[in-house]
Structures are given as C-alpha cells and as structure tokens.
Amino acid sequence: MTEPGHQERRLPRAEVCETHTSVVFFVGDRAYKAKKPVELGFLDYTRRAARRVACEREVALNRRFAPDVYLGLGEFSGPDAEAPEPLVVMRRMPADRRLSRLVREGVVLDDVLRSLARHLAAWHADAPRSPKTDEQGTRDALASRWEAGFAQVHASADDGSVSAGLAETERLVRRYLTGRDRLFASRIEQGRVVDGHGDLLAEDIFCLDDGPRVLDCLEFDDRLRYVDGLDDAAFLAMDLEQLGVPEAAAYFLGQYSEYSGDPAPASLWHHYVAYRAFVRAKVSLIQAQQGAPGARAASGRLASVALRHLRTSAVGLTVVGGLPGSGKSTLSGALADRLGVALLSSDRVRKELAGISAEESAADAYGEGLYTAEWTARTYAALLDRATALLSAGESVVLDATWSDPEQREAARRVAERTSADLVALRCHVSEDVSASRLRTRGSGPSDADLDIAAAMAAREPAWPEAVAVDTSGPLESVVVRALAAVHPWGTGQAPVFRRPYMEPG
C-alpha cells in the first residue's frame, strides 16, 4: 500500500543484456556485470580467479572515466555454487540518455558530440604515458594487431575460404603501413599514444545533463588500451557511422582534433576508423558463432565500412602534366582542393629555389635562365623530395609540373614505390587554338611560359603512354570529375570526409 499523499517511486524494470564476454543484470537502480567463463584466444575467463581479476580491473580502470558510476566489486552465489561469482557493481544509467538511442531517435547531436569530444581530448591530455604505451603506438605494433585480427577471421571462416573483400582489406592495410614509418614515429614523438579507453561505443556512452558518462573501457589486455588518442576517438566515429550518421562521425572527429590540437593527416583518421570497424566485425563474427541473431549480417556491414575507409585512406601521388596552356595548373589546384590533399607546383618551387617570389617574372628564352636543364633537374629533385616527406607522413600529394622528361616521370614512380603510394599520371591537353588563347590572355603568375616557349616544348614533347589523357577544354567541374575517376577508380564519396580544423603554424 502507498500512504496517502505519497507518490509511489517507479523503478526501471529488471533486464538482462549479454555480450560476447559478459552478462549484465539490471535490477532497480543498480547494474551487475558478470564475466562469462569463455576462452576466446585474446582472453581467457575460464577460471574464477581470472574473472575476479577482470572485474577488479574493470572497476579501477573505468573509474578514470566515470567514478560515480562504478561502485565496486560484488559477489553472488546460488545454492549449488562452489564459490561466489565476482560481479562489477554499477549505478544504473538512464536508458533514454544512451547515445546510441539518441542517434536512433534522430536527436540533433552537435552539442552532445562537442561535449564528448572535449571530455575525451581532456582525458587524453592527462592520460598516463610511458615507454610501454609508446611501444603500442609504433607502426609494427599496429601491424601486429591487424595481422592477429586477420588470423582470427581466417580461423573463423566456415569453409576456410577468404572473401574478396577480406583479401583487399589485407592488401590495403599492408600497403598503407609499409610506407608510413615517419608518420607513426612522429605520433609517438608528439605524445599522442596514451593509456586510453580502447572500446568507445555509443551503446556505452550516456549523455547526462552534467556531462557524458563513458563506460566499459577495455580491461582484459592493457596493450589494446595503449593507443593513439585518434585511434581511441575513431572507435566512436566508426560506431556512429555504422549507426547511420556518417556526418556526425566526421563532426565528432573534427571536434576531437580541434580540442586535442591534433595535426594528423586525414589518411590516418580513415585508417583508424577502418581498424575499429574491422575489430567490431571480428567481434560480431564471434557473437554469430555463439548464436547471436543478426550478428553475421552486422559483421558483413562492418567489414564493408572498414574496406571503404581503407580505400579512402590510401596515400596517393598524382602527377598532373601537360604543355603550357593545357590547363594543368588549374586542374591540379581544383583536384587538390576536392581531395583535400597537398599541392606542390614546379613553377613555385623553381622560383623559391631562386629566391624570388612566385609572382615575379623570370621569363627567358627556351632553355635559358631559370629554365636550363640544370635548374629544371634541381627543381624536380626538390619537388620530389618534398613529396616524399609528405607521402611518408600520410599526406597525399598532387604534383603540378610539365613532366615532359621521361626520367623525371621515372623518378616520380620510384618515389611512389618507396612510399607505398598509389601513383596516377594525368596528361592535360587541349587544341592549339584553346592553348594559344589561354596563353595570350593569362596574367602574371608563377608560370613564365609564352606562345614561343609552348611551341618549342611541343616540338620536343615525347610520348607519355602510361598517363591518362584529360581534355581540359570543357567546364572545370566536368574535367575534375573525369580526373577523379582516374584517381579513385573504385568511386568517390565512399567514406565521410574528415577535414582537419584550421591550426596556426607552429
């Protein structure tokens, strides 16, 4: 009976939730998590002592993120139990404030994601760092985690066969990592590798009025929690994307990068999102083998997300060439802007090496002044040196130059090979009338070529059969679309665009 004048307090209904490693019981305003007695290769909870240690670790580690949620260690036992079973005891979070639910309900998430990005960046700024954490941030450590995941998926294949998607995933991962030593070394030097969360999912984040509560960090293997902060954030971006809000995923990563001051190239954002999607695909495969409904389909969807991002993360070297007036510089600039990549111009590098401004004229006769063979060789060498540094750091590059010398084109090919970058060559061309009209009406700028120089170059231009011919006489947008089809033959717009916020130099 409820006394008059008093309203009965309604407690949330009791529920049970199961994951591939745990069972969670929701009773009243408490949640009790028990570890499953399973052995999955990457963890072994078959012994009660191991489950107790895991529960203790979970409480200690998660109190870093949500100290008011993780209340401590508990136990339960039944009439036939040999010994009490350890439990993690938590304050029950309101289900209607779960981030995944807010996503499904179509709630505007900008404020929530901005607060969460600020919270995560602040945690990463003060998170523990050590030589042990740095070890897990190396390229080789990430490669080992990928390879372990590949091995587990191969072992889980029902008939032992490998899908075409998995084969492409493996190839793209190995190619990206092979050329990126400099990138991962710089991440360690910048202190970007931290003792983080390791399992950041929208299902485990609760958006309360006084700030987010982030639950359920990874506790069974410290090495998997020692991650690049961007890798940590990418897990949630991946989850938001597979929940159907890719724009929110891109927004969250952009906000995280702004609050953390992270200068990472977009290729690394995509690579880490791909890694996290692959990890979740592997987990879903395990759940499918345990009989979870819908898990196999989820695994396939997540594997597709991983592949899309790996394709987008591929580091590319695009050389755009052609005679003066062919539109190569216009196309190069538009292409670099559309792709969000670095643009290097031989005209600008040449004048920089000479100590003059790009707009200052250095016009001379063909092959004279700054345009002798020696100056041209020096210019292309500097151009390719700068491209090498950028490609090794994970930045794709568009190179705007004439590329009329086969030896220079071969040098570009060697750079792409050394940095495991995808090389695409584009040769711009137009009719003589269009070229002449452009050269006659062109104002001052980095290029000094005139009609006479263009004619002299055309008379000596060798064949370039490996380049994709691009007619630039039409509208710029249609020209860019044709060029993009050559740069990304598998299609564009496959993954959300991650753009870094503006940062002051230095």
- 199 CB-near residues (< 8 Å, 6+ apart): 216, 217, 218, 235
What amino acid is encoded at 269 in this protein?
Answer: W
Res 158: pLDDT: 61
pTM of the model: 0.84
Average pLDDT of each block of 10 consecutive residues along the chain (506 residues)?
44 82 92 92 89 94 95 87 90 95 96 96 95 96 95 76 81 95 95 95 95 92 93 96 94 96 95 95 86 89 94 96 92 94 94 86 76 92 97 96 95 97 95 87 77 82 92 94 86 52 35
Instruction: Give the span between the Cα atoms of 365 and 496, in whole angstroms.
Output: 48
Measuring CA to CA, which residue among 107, 112, 87 is closest to residue 213?
112
Res 159: pLDDT: 54
Res 286: pLDDT: 82
Res 503: pLDDT: 34
Measured CA to CA in angstroms, residue 389 lies from 139, 342, 386, 505 at distances of 17, 11, 5, 18
Q: For residue 418, how far is the Cα from the chain centroid?
A: 22
Describe the crossing of helices 139-156 and 164-178 by its angle, rounded to 10 degrees: 170
3-state secondary structure (DSSP) of residue 295: helix
**Cβ-based neighbour number of residue 353 at 10 Å:** 15
User: In this structure, what is the dihedral angle of CA atoms 160, 166, 172, 177, given to the nearest 10 degrees?
Assistant: -60
Res 505: pLDDT: 32
Res 358: pLDDT: 78
3-state secondary structure (DSSP) of residue 466: coil
Instruction: Give the span between the Cα atoms of 39 and 33, in whole angstroms.
Output: 18
Measured CA to CA in angstroms, residue 371 lies from 348, 401, 457 at distances of 13, 13, 12
For residue 194, give the H/E element and its range.
strand 193-195
* Structural domains present in the chain: 15-91 (3.30.200), 95-313 (3.90.1200.10), 316-487 (3.40.50.300)
Q: For residue 456, how far is the Cα from the chain centroid?
A: 46
Res 490: pLDDT: 62
**What is the DSSP annotation of 148-172?**
HHHHHHHHH-SSS---HHHHHHHHH
Describe the crossing of helices 266-289 and 164-178 by its angle, rounded to 10 degrees: 140
3-state secondary structure (DSSP) of residue 334: helix
Res 169: pLDDT: 96
Measuring CA to CA, which residue among 493, 490, 146, 164 is closest to residue 300?
164
**What is the DSSP annotation of 412-457?**
HHHHHHHTT-EEEEEEEE--HHHHHHHHHH--SSS----HHHHHHH
Res 5: pLDDT: 41
Please give the biggest Cα pair distance in the chain. Answer: 103
Res 362: pLDDT: 76
Contact present, 90 and 69 (Cβ < 8 Å):
yes
Res 495: pLDDT: 57
- Extract long-range pairs of 165-172: CB within 8 Å, 24+ residues apart: 165/303, 165/304, 165/307, 166/303, 168/307, 168/310, 169/274, 169/278, 169/303, 169/306, 169/307, 169/310, 172/307, 172/310, 172/311, 172/313, 172/314
Res 11: pLDDT: 64
